[in-house]
Amino acid sequence: MDPQPRPAPHSPAKATEAQQPRRFGIRARLLALLLPGIVALLALDSWNDYRALTDSLVVAYDQSLLEPVQALANGIVVASDGSVRVQEPFSIQAMFESTRLRYKYLHVGVQRIPKGETLDVNSPETTLMGVPALPRPAQRPPDGTPVFYDAQHEGHPVRVAALRQTVYDNAHPGIAYSVLIQAAEGTGPRARAQAETLRQEVLRDTRMVLVTALLVWLGVAWTLRPLERLRRSLRERQRDDLTPLDASGVPREVAPLVDAVNHHISGHRRMVAEQSQFLADASHQLRTPLSILSIQAGYAVRETDPARMRESLHAIVAQLARTRRLSEQLLALAHATAGDEAAPAGAAVADLNAVARDVVLQYLPLARENDQDLGWVDARGDIGTDESADDEGDPPVLPVAADAAELHEVLSNLVHNAIKYTPRGGNITVTVRRDATHALAEVCDSGPGIAPERRESVFERFHRDSSTTTGPAQGAGLGLAIARGYARRNGGEIELSNADTPERPNGGGLRATLRLPLHAS
């Protein structure tokens, strides 16, 4: 039986690209932005050029058409017998028709103006030369002023130049003649010249648009070549390669994007390194208690004396409690540093005064067990630990934009550290107050304190200071790291300084201050 064929493996990145809808690239966007404007400007410019050239052609052709008309007008004379004649008409006609054999027409007509009367346009006209049926002007032109118009003659479109002038018979005073001189030619040469002008304009604009599109395409391709190189280098990278991108050669406008990507890679590399270090430290910290539990369990199994067996079991229970606390602290530390010091909920509002009072009440039994005086100073100035909780409807005394549960964890670690490092009979005071822009919760103890040069190192993970602890049991060194992590997640900070106490007025003990921005109500 033949095995079932397996589907060919495919790259997740390629599958993702195939699923994404295609978008317009930079080339298409530039062309879509530039080409309509360029085409519109070229069309307007070409239309203006075409109109200017057409007007120039019309003027040139009209001027050539007017020359025989003026030549004939200069040759009009009145003979001694009172007849109107044209001097040298054949030479003028030959010169006129020599430029074009078809659709060239001349006409000279004369109308007699009776003595003392005006010209009647309907009076009979005598044709002195040329064709008698050329279309007349729509209106009688003024004497000596040439007019140009388009008309139809024998089924062909023609351009006509007309000039009317009045001549007088010197031999017979009072007798005058109105002479109409016309020259017409077909509009074919003009139309062909205008069409050629338009064709040249369209060809020029088309070449301009194509060259512009090609330059935009090649320019974008050349500009984006470094980005394509970056893309190939990213695709060829191993998954664990977090080296910065090579920004050499990228356009200046794209350099900020590459810098932002490198910044993100750097942050991710730092986060991966911290997670790797955290896992290594956590495994190391858990290995010791698990080994102790294994030894104790083995000892209990081999023990036959019930009393000693119960001692071993009590030791195992105590070790399990310490291991559970270590596990809880590790989880809290992972949660505190998971957001890269970003506030988890910008809309949450907590009352720092109420949170601090709850923490004091929670740790009051432990402080009394250690023979320590744990007190607190309310933000409203009342001193004590037995006040009843505020009513739910009351406004917060000291509102801060933070998560109440995380603030509780911060102050719990600070108070727990103070209790652990303060000797029996010592004092611990939790004070809540405000300044101009911040809310502050201070935990002051009368313990040995921390030297200024070592205050920053105590926030490191798994840091222990064996020289200051008051009991035999050592913690995991995670309390202050967790506290700072949660404080920074909520936009705050923890500062360590000397605590001035009545026992040590010149400075002593430790003051841990949680500083948070006030919520803008």
- Each residue's pLDDT tens digit, 326-347: 676 666 666 656 654 444 445 5
Average pLDDT over residues 482-501: 82
Same-domain status, 292 and 423: no
Global model pTM greater than 0.95 = no
* pLDDT (0 to 100) of residue 343: 47
SS3 111: strand
The pLDDT-based confidence of 505 (bands split at 50, 70, 90) is: low
270 closest CA partner among 344, 343, 333, 340: 340
* pLDDT (0 to 100) of residue 285: 60
**Which sign does the torsion angle of CA 389, 395, 397, 402 carry?**
positive
> How far, in Å, are 35, 328, 463 from residue 466 at the CA level?
76, 22, 10
Q: Which residues face 158 on adjacent strands?
A: 151, 186
The pLDDT-based confidence of 506 (bands split at 50, 70, 90) is: low
Task: Tell whether the model's pLDDT for residue 387 goes beyond 60.
Answer: no
Same-domain status, 320 and 360: no
Residue 226: inside a domain: no
Residue 13: inside a domain: no
- Each residue's pLDDT tens digit, 243-291: 887 777 777 777 788 888 888 888 878 777 767 766 666 665 667 677 7
* pLDDT (0 to 100) of residue 314: 81
Residue carrying structure tokens 């000596």: 144
- Look at residues 335, 370, 389 and tell me which one is the last residue of a structural domain: 335
Give residues with Cβ within 8 angstroms of 491, minimum separation 6.
343, 401, 402, 516, 517
Same-domain status, 152 and 278: no
Same-domain status, 293 and 318: yes
Task: Tell whether the model's pLDDT for residue 431 goes beyond 90.
Answer: yes
Residues 183 and 160 sit within 8 Å (Cβ to Cβ) = yes
Task: Tell whether the model's pLDDT for residue 14 goes beyond 80.
Answer: no
Looking at per-residue confidence, does 69 or 231 come out higher? 69
The share of the chain scoring above pLDDT 70, in percent, equals 78
* pLDDT (0 to 100) of residue 368: 92
Which residue type, as a one-letter code, is found at position 330? L
What domain count does the chain have?
Answer: 3
Same-domain status, 458 and 320: no
Lowest mean pLDDT among 119-128, 163-172, 498-507, 511-520: 498-507
Residues 200 and 120 sit within 8 Å (Cβ to Cβ) = no
Tokens of 96: 């006129």
Same-domain status, 354 and 503: yes
What is the spatial distance between Cα 246 and Cα 286, in angstroms, rounded to a whole number? 41
CATH number for the domain that contains residue 425? 3.30.565.10
What is the spatial distance between Cα 58 and Cα 472, in angstroms, rounded to a whole number? 114
Same-domain status, 331 and 358: no
- Look at residues 172, 194, 216 and tell me which one is the last residue of a structural domain: 194
Task: Tell whether the model's pLDDT for residue 52 goes beyond 70.
Answer: yes
* pLDDT (0 to 100) of residue 389: 45
DSSP 140: P
Strongest mean pLDDT among 80-84, 85-89, 357-361:
357-361
Neighbours of 94 (CB within 10 A): 10
Average pLDDT, the chain: 78
- Look at residues 289, 316, 335 and tell me which one is the last residue of a structural domain: 335
Average pLDDT over residues 162-185: 84
Residue 17: inside a domain: no
Residue 67: inside a domain: yes
* pLDDT (0 to 100) of residue 70: 87
Residue 369 belongs to domain spanning:
343-517
- Which of 29-67 are b and which e, b meaning 16 or more Cβ less than 10 Å from the residue's Cβ? ebbeeeeeebeeebeeebeebbeebeeebeeebeeebbe
Same-domain status, 293 and 411: no
Looking at per-residue confidence, does 459 or 20 come out higher? 459
Same-domain status, 401 and 368: yes
Lowest mean pLDDT among 182-191, 263-272, 370-379: 263-272
The pLDDT-based confidence of 216 (bands split at 50, 70, 90) is: confident
CATH number for the domain that contains residue 266? 1.10.287
Average pLDDT over residues 443-456: 86
Same-domain status, 286 and 400: no
* pLDDT (0 to 100) of residue 432: 93
The share of the chain scoring above pLDDT 90, in percent, equals 10
What is the spatial distance between Cα 269 and Cα 259, in angstroms, rounded to a whole number? 15
Same-domain status, 420 and 301: no
Give residues with Cβ within 8 angstroms of 354, minimum separation 6.
389, 390, 396, 397
What is the spatial distance between Cα 152 and Cα 323, in angstroms, rounded to a whole number? 113
Task: Tell whether the model's pLDDT for residue 10 goes beyond 50.
Answer: no
Same-domain status, 330 and 369: no
The pLDDT-based confidence of 356 (bands split at 50, 70, 90) is: very high
Task: Tell whether the model's pLDDT for residue 357 goes beyond 90.
Answer: yes
Residue 139: inside a domain: yes
Task: Estimate the crossing angle of helix 306-336 against helix 404-421, to 10 degrees.
Answer: 130
